[in-house]
Amino acid sequence: MILDLLELLFNAGFWAATIRIACPLLLATLGELICERAGVLNLGIEGIMTIGALVGWTTVYLGGDLSTGILVAAIVGASFGLLHAFFSVYLGASQHVTGIGITLFASSIGYYSFRLLLPSSTTPPKIMAFQPLEIPFFSDIPFLGIALFQHTAFTYFAFLMIPAVFWLMNKTPLGLSIKVAGENPMALEAQGLDVLFVRTIALMLGSALMALGGAYLTMSAFDAFYFGMVNGRGWIAIALVIFASWQPFRVMLGAILFAGLDAFQVRAQQLAGAFIAYQFFLMLPYLLSIVAMVFAARSTYYPRALLIPFRRGERH
Amino acid sequence: MTALLNVKNIDKSFGRLNANKNISFDVASGEIVAILGENGAGKTTLMNIIFGHYVADSGLINFNGNELKAGDTKAAIDAGIGMVHQHFTLAENLTVLENILVGTQPLYQPRLSERKAKEKLKYLAAEFGLELSPQQLVRNLSVGEKQRLEILKTLFGDCKLLILDEPTASLTPQEVKTLFISIRKMVASGLGVILISHKLNEILEISNRIIVLRSGEVVGKVKTKNADKTQLGEMIVGRKINRPIRKENSFKEARIQLFQLSTKSGNGLAALKNVDLEVRGGEIIGVAGVAGNGQKALAEVLTGHNKPNSGKIFVNGKNLFGKTPSDFMNSGVAYIPEDRNADGIIGDMSVWENIILTESKNLKFFNKKGILNIKNSHELANSVCQKNDVRCQSIEQSARLLSGGNIQKLLIGKWLERKPSVIVACQPSRGLDEGAISAVHKTLLSERKKSTAIILISEDLDELLLLADKIVVLFNGKLSQFIENSNLNPNKLGLMMAGDGF
C-alpha cells in the first residue's frame, strides 16, 4: 500500500490535479499578500472569493463571455476592497471586525442574489467553463505535458500572476509605496504621499485578485456555483501568506504544497480508506500545513505596521 | 541676505493647549538657525506646521518668495523643504535605496528607475560625507547611519531648507561630530538649516542664530556669537536653574558586590569579562564608557535580566547568582533602564497601571484572589505623580503620550515607592531637557543621602563629574581601576574610554 501511495508522486494526473487545486489559493494568497504588505489584514477574503465565484459565473450564465466574467469578478472584488478601505483605512476601524463583517456580508448577499436569480432550480445550472488548452509541442512532452501544459487559460493566468505581483511589489513605484505603507506609514507621509490612498489602492488590487480566486472555482475548476464552495480556502490563504513570508514566489511553493497534500488525500482515501477512516485523510493537509507553518513562521519577517490604523496629524 | 523661509504670526492649539502662540521668524540661505526649548515648548509642533503635517490655526508661511500651502506635505517637499524627524521615518525592512526612492516617482509609472538614483546618491554621499551602501537593509544600520539616511532622503529631493528635529538625541559623541561636519558642508553649499535641540553646548557650537521657545512663545532671539550659556539656560526654563550639588556623605556597608563576573556575548552585546565592583550605601559609582562596551550587559546583570556565566553577585549580603529579576527586586534593587520607552514603561497602558506594575506582589494593590484594588492603586499613582512632579492630564492617560522627562520621573518615582537599597541607573538623563535633568539628578543625590547605593552608567562626563563619588571606565567588557572624583582628569578619562590602559 505504501508503494501505491508513492507511485502517486509519479502520476502525471496527480500533478495536474495539484496545479488545478493550487490556482484559487494562489490568486487569493497573492491578493492577501498585497493587502497585508500595505498594512491591512483583509479578513474579507472568504466572502470576496464567494462573491467573485458568483459574479464570474453569473456573467457567463447571463450570456457574457468568459473574459468578461473575469473582468466583472475583478471589478466587484475591487469594490469590496474599497468598502473594506472605507471602514478600516479611512475610518480607522478595527481590521478584524471590518474583515469579518465583509466576509459575512459578501457571502450572504452572494447566496441571496443567487436565490433571486434562480428561485426554483434544485440542481445548479452549468455554464461552458474554460476548457483545457493544450500548448503546442510542450503538451506532448511525456509526463510534464499532462502535468503542466494541458490546463485552462485561467490556470496559466493564475500562475502568471506570481511574476506580475512580484514585479508590482519590487519593480514599481506603487509597489514600493505599498511596502512602505505597511512598514512605517509615517515614512510615506514624510515623503509627501497619501498613506490612506496607497492603502486603499492596495486593498482594491488585492481584493480583485481574491475575487478572481473565487471565480476560478466556478469558471475553471467547476462549471457551476454551489453554496459553501469556497469552503475555507480564504482562511488557508491567510495562513499561506505567513508561510510565504510575504514573498510572491514563496506563495507558489505554499499553494502547491497545500494543493499537493489535498490531491494526495483524495487518492489516499481510495487506496487506504478500507483501513483508515477517510476523515483522517481530510485532516492531513491542514495538519501538515500547521507543521509547515511552525517551521516557516518562526524566523519570519512581517510588515511592521500590519493591523495599525493610520490617522493623519495624530501623535505617533 | 534675503529670507528663504518667512514665518509670520503662527498660532496653533490642540484642545485647550496653546502649542504655538504668535510665532514669527525667518531663515536665510546658508545659515543655521537653532530653535531651543524644553520638551513641550512647541518646537516640533512649529516644524510640523512648516512641513505641512499640521495646519496652523492662523498665520502665514512664505518660502522662497511664495506662500506655502498649509497642511500639505507634498507642497512643502516640492517647494524644497526637507525634514528629519526626531523619530526616524524609515521602513526598517527595506533597503537604503528603497527608502530614498519612495515618493520620488509617480505611482502610475510601470517601472521604478534605480540607476540614476544610485548615481545621485553616490554623488551626494561623497559631497557631504554621508556614506551608505544603497543595498543595505535599514534594520541593520546603526542609529548614526539611519540619521545619515534621513538626511540623504531630504537632500535627494533637492531641498533648500533642511529641518533637523533633535538630530543628536540618540547619537554618540563621535556620531555628533560627523553629523556636524556634514551640516557645515551643506550650509556652505547654500542650504538653510533649522536645528531643533535642547543641548546648549551643541547649539552654541554650530548655529548662527538662536531662537528660544517657551510654552509656545518666542522668548528670545540672539546671535550665537553674543549668546551666553547660563542666560540661555534660564531663558529656556523661565527661571534660574539650580544645579544640585553633591555634598560629603558617610558611606555605609557594601550593598552590591560583583566578584569576577563574566557574561556570554550574543545578540550583538559586548560581554563582561571578570568584572569586580562594589558599591556601598550612600555612594554613587559612575561607570563611564562609550556605548556598546558592555553597559547593557552590566546593567542587566545587576538587575537579574542577564544571567552571568561565572562569578559571584551579592546584594545586601545575599548571593543572587543566577536568580531572576524579581529576586533582585525583592532584595531591594531598582532599575532605570537605558531605553525607557521600550523597557521602562508599557506605552499603551495608563499612567497608573504603569506605576503599579512593580507592585504585583503587594497585597495592598493586588489581593490574594488576584483582584486589583483600584482605589489604592489610584492613590499611589496620584501620590507618585505629585511627589515627583510628573505632569500628565490624568493618571488614566496612556504613558506613551508623556514627554521623555515625565516618563523618567514616573519611572524613578515608582521605584522609589519600593524604598530601594540599590539603584541601577542607565543613561538616566539621555534625551531629557535641562529642567528634567536637574530633577533626575536631585532625586539621585537625595537617594544617596538616604544611604542608597547607586550605580550610574552614563556616557555624559558632565553628569558623572556632577554626581559620582568614584568613577570607573568600562571598555570592551572590562572595568578599570576606580578613580576618585576629586582626582579626575577629563583628558585621562577620555583616553581610558578609548581603551588606554586596558
Residues 275-304 of A with CB under 8 A from B: 301, 303-304
**pLDDT tens per residue across span B21-80:** 999 999 999 999 999 988 778 888 899 999 988 899 999 999 998 999 988 888 999 999
**In three state form, how does the secondary structure of A235-253 look?**
HHHHHHHHHCCCCHHHHHH
Q: Which CATH architecture has domain B254-497?
A: 3-Layer(aba) Sandwich (3.40)
Instruction: Kindly list the residues from chain A whose CB atom is less than 8 angstroms away from the CB atom of residue B74.
Output: 192-193
Task: Decide if A176 and B102 are in contact by the 8 Å CB cutoff.
Answer: yes
Which of B76, B101, B102 minimises the CB distance to A188? Answer: B102
**pLDDT tens per residue across span B205-218:** 999 999 999 989 99
Task: Decide if B103 and A191 are in contact by the 8 Å CB cutoff.
Answer: yes
Q: Which band of pLDDT confidence, cut at 50, 70 and 90, is reported for residue B489?
A: confident
Distance (Å, whole) CA A133 – CA A152: 5
Nearest to A162 by CA among A74, A81, A253, A236: A253
- Given this model, what pLDDT does residue A316 score? 43
Task: Decide if B92 and A184 are in contact by the 8 Å CB cutoff.
Answer: yes
Please compute the mean of the pLDDT values over residues B378-401 and round it to a whole number.
90
- Asked if the model's pLDDT at residue B452 lies above 90, the reply is yes
Q: Which band of pLDDT confidence, cut at 50, 70 and 90, is reported for residue B266?
A: low
Task: Decide if B89 and A187 are in contact by the 8 Å CB cutoff.
Answer: yes
Distance (Å, whole) CA A288 – CA A224: 30
> Domain B3-237 falls in which CATH fold?
Rossmann fold (3.40.50)
- Given this model, what pLDDT does residue B447 score? 94
- Asked if the model's pLDDT at residue B267 lies above 70, the reply is no
- Given this model, what pLDDT does residue B269 score? 65
- Given this model, what pLDDT does residue B268 score? 58
Nearest to B428 by CA among B417, B439, B419, B418: B439
Please compute the mean of the pLDDT values over residues B69-93 and round it to a whole number.
89
Searching chain B, which residue's CA lies closest to the CA of residue A300? Answer: B93
Q: Residue-wise over B373-383: b if at least 16 C-beta within 10 A, else e?
A: beebbeebbbe
Distances (CA, A) of A303 to A2, A35, A185, A196, A306: 42, 11, 11, 16, 5
Q: What is the DSSP string of B187-202?
A: HHTT-EEEEEES-HHH
- Given this model, what pLDDT does residue A57 score? 96
**pLDDT tens per residue across span A28-55:** 999 999 999 999 999 999 999 999 999 9
Instruction: Kindly list the residues from chain A whose CB atom is less than 8 angstroms away from the CB atom of residue B53.
Output: 189, 312-313
- Given this model, what pLDDT does residue A300 score? 66
Mean pLDDT estimate for chain B: 89
- Which segments of chain A have a pLDDT < 50? 315-316
CB proximity list for A136: less than 8 A, separation 6 or greater: none
Under an 8 Å CB criterion, which residues of B touch A?
53-54, 73-74, 76-78, 83, 85, 87, 89-94, 98-99, 101-112, 153, 401
- Given this model, what pLDDT does residue A135 score? 86
Instruction: Kindly list the residues from chain A whose CB atom is less than 8 angstroms away from the CB atom of residue B106.
Output: 173
- Asked if the model's pLDDT at residue B265 lies above 60, the reply is yes
- In order of their start, the domains of chain A are 2-116+150-296 (1.10.3470)
Q: Is A315 on the interface with B (CB under 8 A)?
A: yes
For chain B, the structural domain boundaries read 3-237, 254-497
Which of A174, A187, A189 minimises the CB distance to B91? Answer: A187
Task: Decide if B89 and A193 are in contact by the 8 Å CB cutoff.
Answer: no
One fold for B3-237 and B254-497: yes
Q: Is A103 on the interface with B (CB under 8 A)?
A: no
The whole-model pTM stands at 0.80
Determine the length of chain A. Answer: 316
CB proximity list for B477: less than 8 A, separation 6 or greater: B265, B270, B271, B272, B273, B275, B293, B294, B297
**pLDDT tens per residue across span B333-354:** 999 998 888 889 998 899 999 9
- Given this model, what pLDDT does residue A314 score? 57
B57: left (phi over 0), alpha (psi -120 to 50) or beta: alpha
Q: What is the ipTM of this complex?
A: 0.86
Instruction: Kindly list the residues from chain B whose CB atom is less than 8 angstroms away from the CB atom of residue A190.
Output: 73, 83, 85, 89
A176 to chain B, closest Cα gap in Å: 6
Backbone angles phi, psi at B8, to 5 degrees: -125, 120
- Given this model, what pLDDT does residue B21 score? 92
